[in-house]
Amino acid sequence: MKIDRLLSIVILLMNRKRIQAKELADLFEVSVRTIYRDIDVIDHAGIPVMTYPGAGGGIGLVEGYRLDRNLLTHNDLAAIVTALRSISTSYSSHENQMLLEKINSIIPASKSDDFEFKTKQFIVDFSSWGDQGLMEEKLNKLKQAIEQLQVVAFTYCNADGDVTERSVEPYTLVLKKQRWYLYAYCRQREQFRLFKLFRMKDVVIHELYFVRQPISMEDMPWAKSWQPPEQGTPLQLRFHAKVRHLAEEWFGVESLLEDGEGRYTVSVAFPEDNWLYGFILSFGEGVEVLEPAHIREKIKKIAEGIVNKYERTC
């Protein structure tokens, strides 16, 4: 992540008199151009960075400059460590691990036990069950394309099962509800789109570069509601007691109303599409659609089709 890299560069510049841009690029596995952009960001943040030409030159801080050691308290550092460890559960990187090592190295030995205690009080694990090797490989490839401003091509299958070939300008990787998305400018649709990484395959980085457009991170699609309630289809679902815990996970304990017969009803609104049918069917026989009638009939037909398939003689 960029913020981790920036912090790591600042710490390296504090500890070393000079360092070559190429060395930093190799260390963080980015381009030299990216390093110089990072240096500009650091300089604009008020940390005076100088480039020294000639033999023995490189990048360094202005002579005599030091960060105030009281700038970050142990509680601040513990919060950073907790955040980095949380991010690493879903996306591990050399940069994150390096920053964790650096932070731990500046904690006095007399306070190391207390610091370790603070960093273990709160753990956020974004990872899913099972091997994430292929997903991590895809993340690393897209991260590289974002940093180097390179066009990415892939095959994409949308929620309706339609398969298309896409060529995009990647901007941001987004983790939303344990799912990774790529926010990118789609050259086919000529607009920004949000792509789910699980639906992307055959990801290729092209030797084509793009100019990044200015975008506001305050009004991004992942920060909005999935679907405004007024645009969804009102549903009334009745759950059997044996799947009550699953219904509570989705809708909350307060939303479930007991009908006096050991069953629970909930009123919600969802967009009507294949996802909705699959979602209802995921509860198996533990749920019944009470309203509307046309969705009740749709689920009935899907269930009948499943029964017919399994009743066929092989």
Residue 101: the pLDDT is 74
Interatomic CA distance for residues 118 and 85, integer angstroms: 13
Q: Give the closest residue to 278 by CA, choosing from 196, 137, 155, 161.
A: 161
Within-domain flag for 54: yes
How far apart, in Å, are the Cα atoms of 302 and each of 276, 290, 299?
12, 16, 5
Residue 7: the pLDDT is 78
Mean pLDDT value of segment 265-271: 91
Total count of domains within the chain:
4
CATH number where 138 lies: 2.30.30.520
Same domain assignment for residues 301 and 234 = yes
Mean pLDDT value of segment 226-239: 77
Query: Does residue 6 surpass a pLDDT of 70?
Result: yes
CATH number where 306 lies: 3.30.70
Residue 186: the pLDDT is 95
**Which pTM does this prediction carry?**
0.52
Same domain assignment for residues 148 and 219 = yes
How confident is the model over 131-161, as pLDDT tens digits?
Answer: 566 788 888 899 899 999 999 999 998 877 7
Rounded CA Rg of the chain: 26
Interatomic CA distance for residues 204 and 255, integer angstroms: 45
Could you tell me the pLDDT band of residue 264, with boundaries at 50, 70 and 90? very high
DSSP codes, the chain: -HHHHHHHHHHHHHH-S-B-HHHHHHHHTS-HHHHHHHHHHHHHTT--EEEE-STT-EEEEPTT----TTSS-HHHHHHHHHHHHHHHTT---HHHHHHHHHHHHTS-GGGHHHHHHHHTS-----PPSS--HHHHHHHHHHHHHHHHTEEEEEEEE-TT--EEEEEEEEEEEEEETTEEEEEEEETTTTEEEEEEGGGEEEEEEEEEE-PPPP--GGG-GGGS-SS-GGGSEEEEEEE-GGGHHHHHHHH-GGG-EE-SSS-EEEEEEE--SHHHHHHHHTTGGGEEEEE-HHHHHHHHHHHHHHHHHHHS--
Query: Does residue 127 surpass a pLDDT of 70?
Result: no
Same domain assignment for residues 171 and 201 = yes
Same domain assignment for residues 187 and 213 = yes
Same domain assignment for residues 268 and 247 = yes
Could you tell me the pLDDT band of residue 73, with boundaries at 50, 70 and 90? confident
Same domain assignment for residues 213 and 137 = yes
Same domain assignment for residues 142 and 218 = yes
Percent of the chain's residues with pLDDT above 70: 85
Query: Does residue 72 surpass a pLDDT of 70?
Result: no
Mean pLDDT value of segment 25-50: 86
Query: Does residue 240 surpass a pLDDT of 70?
Result: yes
What range defines the domain where residue 45 resides? 2-61
Within-domain flag for 126: no
CATH number where 26 lies: 1.10.10.10
| Last residue within a domain, chosen from 192, 223, 254 | 223
Could you tell me the pLDDT band of residue 217, with boundaries at 50, 70 and 90? low
